[in-house]
Structure 1
Amino acid sequence: MRTHAISDDLWSLIVAVLPAGRRRGRPWNDHRRTLEGIIWRYRTGSPWCDLPEHFGPWQSVAERHLRWSVDGIYARIFAAIASDLDAEDADLGALLSVDSTSVRAHQHAAGARPGRRTGGSIELQEISP
């Protein structure tokens, strides 16, 4: 069962940069179904264990996501899509950009020194009556 999160045109760009199947061990689940499962997980914000069964075992989808992250597959996917963008593809271009206001960073990522109070505790943020 497909969710149609990835159009056929978009899939033709993506499939060219995905790794081939394993030589040993159990064969991989379908790349397209797995990628649609990853997309579903991030669109819904659900935990991996709530992934619907038609995407395959959630452990396999989560492991493939981790493997692709480490191996740089996502960077190759984005590069393949970006290289095919036309000026009229503004909607697709918007999907490839990340708005920094939606990316959370730890307080130390912003340069705060460890051990110093930065106002991050709940008690300091509560308003006293």
Structure 2
Amino acid sequence: MLEPLLPQGIKAGRPPMHTKRQLINGIRFRTRTGVPRRDLPERYGPGETVYGLFRRWQRDGAWHRILEQLQARADAKGLITWDISVDSTITRAHQHAAGARKRGTCRSSHPAASSPSPTTTDQDAPVAD
């Protein structure tokens, strides 16, 4: 069912050792669990191979095309409801959008309250023996 949507990369050379299904399942496993490449189970193929396929398809836009085509199929079958509801109880403003600056609280009008550091003179400096 997903096979026609996959990019068809025909290369000369040695045939692949792992099927696309194994590699895609490896990508799904990593996405779902968050494991590092080195901890990927062997049944999915080498971690570098799985990542290489993921990254190559990410760069050429294959994942985006697959998503769009799957959404179009599901929408044609009536499996997707495109209703969106935004409730003000879940909408939040950024913390800086809470209000304008109050009058008289400018930082430059309040100098920093720190004492000046004592200066060291030649008489106070330690003498090396």
Normalising by structure 1, what TM-score?
Answer: 0.55
Q: CA RMSD in A?
A: 1.9
Percent identity reads: 34
4+ runs deviating over 4 angstroms: none
Give the conservation status (yes or no) of the 8 Å contact 1:48–1:58: yes
Residue in 1 aligned with 2:70?
81
Residue in 2 aligned with 1:41?
30
- Residues 77-123 of structure 1, C-alpha deviations (whole Å, 9 max, x = no match): 10111011133356xx9xxxxxxxxxxxxxxxxxxxxxxxxxxxxxx
Residue in 2 aligned with 1:68?
57
Instruction: Could you tell me which runs of 5 or more consecutive residues in structure 1 were left unpaired when the two chains were aligned.
Output: 1-11, 94-129
Structure 1 residue 76, shift from structure 2 partner: 1.3
Distance 1:30 1:87 in 2: 32
Which has the bigger relative contact order, CA under 8 A and spacing at least 6? 1
Structure 1 residue 26, shift from structure 2 partner: 2.9
Residue in 2 aligned with 1:56?
45
Instruction: Could you tell me which runs of 5 or more consecutive residues in structure 2 were left unpaired when the two chains were aligned.
Output: 83-129
Matches within 5 A, 1:1-129: 12=1, 14-28=2-16, 29-85=18-74, 86-89=77-80
Normalising by structure 2, what TM-score?
Answer: 0.55
- Residues 44-82 of structure 1, C-alpha deviations (whole Å, 9 max, x = no match): 011111110000111111101110101111011101110
| Structure with a larger share of its residues in helix | 1
Give the conservation status (yes or no) of the 8 Å contact 1:21–1:27: no
